[in-house]
Amino acid sequence: MKSILRLVALSFILLLLFLGISLSVFFVLGTLQDRAHRAFLDKNEEVLTLSRTVSQLNVLSSTMLRSSSTELIPDYRNAMALLDQQIEQVRLIPEVDADLDAILRRLAYFNDYQRILLNDSSLIPFETFTYIRDSVIQHQMAVDELVLGIYRLSSETFSAYENRLGTIEYSFWLLLIASIFMIVLTGTRYARRIGLQIKQIQHAAHRLSERDWATADIPSSGFLELDELATGMNKMKREILLSIQKLHAQAEKEKELGEKLIESEKRDKLLMQAQLSALRAQINPHFLFNALDIIGKVAFLNNPELAMELIEAISKILRYSLDATDQLVPLSEELSIIQHYLLLQKVRFGERVVIEYAVAEEARQARMPAMLLQPILENCFKHGMKAQASLHIRLEADLEQDILKVVVHDTGEGFETGEIVAAPSPHIGLNNVSSRLSLRYKRDDLFSIVSKKHAFTTVTLRIPQQEEPA
The confidence band for 121, taking pLDDT boundaries of 50, 70 and 90, is low
pLDDT at 365 over 80: yes
Alpha carbons within 13 angstroms on the beta-carbon side of residue 1 total 6
pLDDT for residue 334:
92
Query: What mean pLDDT do residues 70-96 have?
Result: 80
User: How is domain 352-470 classified at the CATH fold level?
Assistant: Heat Shock Protein 90 (3.30.565)
Asked whether the beta carbons of 115 and 84 are under 8 A apart, the reply is no
**pTM score, whole prediction:** 0.46
The model's confidence at residue 2, banded by pLDDT at 50, 70 and 90, is low
Domain boundaries, the chain: 4-183, 352-470
Cα separation of 415 and 455, whole Å? 8
Q: In whole angstroms, how large is the CA radius of gyration of the chain? A: 46
Digit-coded pLDDT (tens) for 26-78: 667 667 666 766 766 677 777 778 778 777 777 777 777 777 667 777 887 88
Residue 309 CA to residue 362 CA, distance in Å, equals 31
Pair 93, 43: CB distance under 8 Å: yes
Q: How confident is the model at residue 367 (pLDDT cuts 50, 70, 90)?
A: very high
Q: Is 141 within 8 Å of 110 (Cβ atoms)?
A: no
Pairing mode, strands 391-399 and 403-410: antiparallel
Query: pLDDT tens across 137-152, in order?
Result: 767 777 777 777 777 7
Look at residue 186 and tell me whether its pLDDT is greater than 50. yes
User: Do 294 and 281 contact (CB within 8 A), yes or no?
Assistant: no
